Amino acid sequence: MKRLFISLYLLLSLGVLGIGWALDNLWQSNVDDKGAQDAPLIALAQVLAALPIEQRQAMLDAIEPDPKLPLTLLDAKQVAFSSEQMVQANKVIATPHDINHELHFVAVGEQLLMAGPIELDPRASLRNLYNIFFYLLLGFIVLIWVWPLSKDLKILGKATKEFGQAKWDTRIQLTKSSQVLPLADTFNDMAAHISALIENQKHLSNAVSHEIRTPLARLKFALALLPQYCLPDSDKDKRQRFLDEMQLDIKEMENLLQELLTYASLETQRESLHFERCDLNSLVAQTIRRLQSHHPTPIVLNEPATTIYLTAEPSLVERALQNLITNAQRFSTDNIVVKISEQNDGIRLSVTDNGEGILKQDQSKIFEPFYRSASSKNGNKGHGLGLAIIKRIMERHHGEVTLFSEPGDTRFTLFWPK
């Protein structure tokens, strides 16, 4: 808005000043000679005023008559003027006589010297033409500015209408010189964000319909069989295994819902993150100790001698590291290496395993929500949200997560720029 206002204001101001100054100077130098015309009449009136009243007419008769400028002495009572018209000795008052003539009056003591009827100068009508020409030029200048703006606004209006008709891929392309380019960029950012939200909503619907359907069907089937496991002569061990399987189905649905809530909360947590300066070495070591107790695959921590401090949300950093280590525990055949490093460009935290690697066709999609690799070891485990959560966490920290994978060497790296 500020850019739009300043540009229009400067354009109109400079245009009015420039055109007005040029036309006024042209008029003054070529057309407007009224002061020179009035000077002889005022000088004659001053000479007559210095004479006695009875000698004025005689002197006036002695002047050689000019048919184009007849002169007459009148008594002031013979002529009536409006209150706005004050006849003075040094000022000529002009009044219309007919459509082509006018009368000029100047005070001569208690008398009036009347000149006329004087034929009007045909050049006087040029002033109106100059005024018309001025406004046409001003309108043309404004049109030069308004026309491309109006064209761009129509493009904006059309794009907004299409977006309102659920055409989520609608984007606006304007030239860099457009006055509304910032507005178009804001619209494109909004459209991209809304498109991503709608796409996530579709994924969420698919996840709910597919991921929850299987354990829910197993639970319904188990509930139908439950009465026969509750008979007095039923096998207690079989009943317990049966109940444990039901608990696993419930836990699977709980895990899915928790992942969905975490992923969704990161979308609305843009302004609510509470960054603090945390000890990255201690945070990583604590997470490794907790996860090591649940899995036999050894986790090796490779950290620098000096403590590395990171300004971040500690719980989210821990969550991202936990997801990476958990994934590595599913694939690694030997050990898992966690490395902390700090360079001039930023801080890196990597998790490396020696599993079979991620397929080439999966590497470009692995961070998409609900996408699961076709790896033979992956099977049907997980819900495809772990890496998507990591990516969103890093985006909230203005960082990134990268992947390098080949058979026997898969490395995920979290990077926080300085």
The CATH number covering residue 385 comes to 3.30.565.10
pLDDT of 284:
93
In a domain, 169, yes or no: no
Pair (293, 359) in one structural domain:
yes
Q: Average pLDDT by consecutive 10-residue portion of the chain (418 residues)?
A: 58 73 69 60 76 79 75 75 63 72 78 75 67 74 77 87 86 84 88 82 71 80 81 79 86 79 68 80 92 89 91 90 90 89 92 88 82 58 77 89 90 93
Pair (261, 358) in one structural domain:
no
Boundary (domain end) residue, out of 61, 87, 120: 120
Query: How far apart, in Å, do the first and last CA atoms of the chain sit?
Result: 34
Residue pointed to by tokens 């009056």: 105
For the chain, the domain total comes to 3
pLDDT of 96:
75
> How far apart are alpha carbons 285 and 290 in whole angstroms?
9
> How far apart are alpha carbons 52 and 35 in whole angstroms?
28
In a domain, 69, yes or no: yes
Pair (381, 398) in one structural domain:
yes
- Between β-strands 336-342 and 299-302, what pairing exists: parallel, antiparallel or unpaired? parallel
Pair (284, 353) in one structural domain:
yes
Pair (292, 393) in one structural domain:
yes
In a domain, 27, yes or no: no
Pair (294, 403) in one structural domain:
yes
Is pTM, for the whole model, over 0.85? Answer: no
pLDDT of 62:
76
Pair (230, 106) in one structural domain:
no
DSSP conformation letters of 318-343: HHHHHHHHHHHHHH-SS-EEEEEEE-
Pair (82, 113) in one structural domain:
yes
Domain membership of residue 45 as a residue range: 33-120
In a domain, 408, yes or no: yes
> How far apart are alpha carbons 328 and 335 in whole angstroms?
9
In a domain, 368, yes or no: yes
In a domain, 148, yes or no: no
Boundary (domain end) residue, out of 97, 120, 143: 120
Written as six digits, the tokens of 384 are 């495809």
In a domain, 146, yes or no: no
Q: Is residue 122 reached through a cis peptide bond, with omega within 30 degrees of 0 on the bond before it?
A: no
Pair (94, 52) in one structural domain:
yes
**Residue 382 falls in which region: left (phi positive, over 0), alpha (psi -120 to 50) or beta:** left
pLDDT of 152:
84
pLDDT of 37:
61
Pair (263, 303) in one structural domain:
no
Q: Do 170 and 163 meet the contact criterion of CB atoms below 8 Å apart?
A: yes
Written as six digits, the tokens of 145 are 């500015």
In a domain, 152, yes or no: no
Pair (288, 411) in one structural domain:
yes
Written as six digits, the tokens of 111 are 């008398």
Boundary (domain end) residue, out of 249, 267, 285: 267
> How far apart are alpha carbons 412 and 367 in whole angstroms?
11
Pair (243, 314) in one structural domain:
no
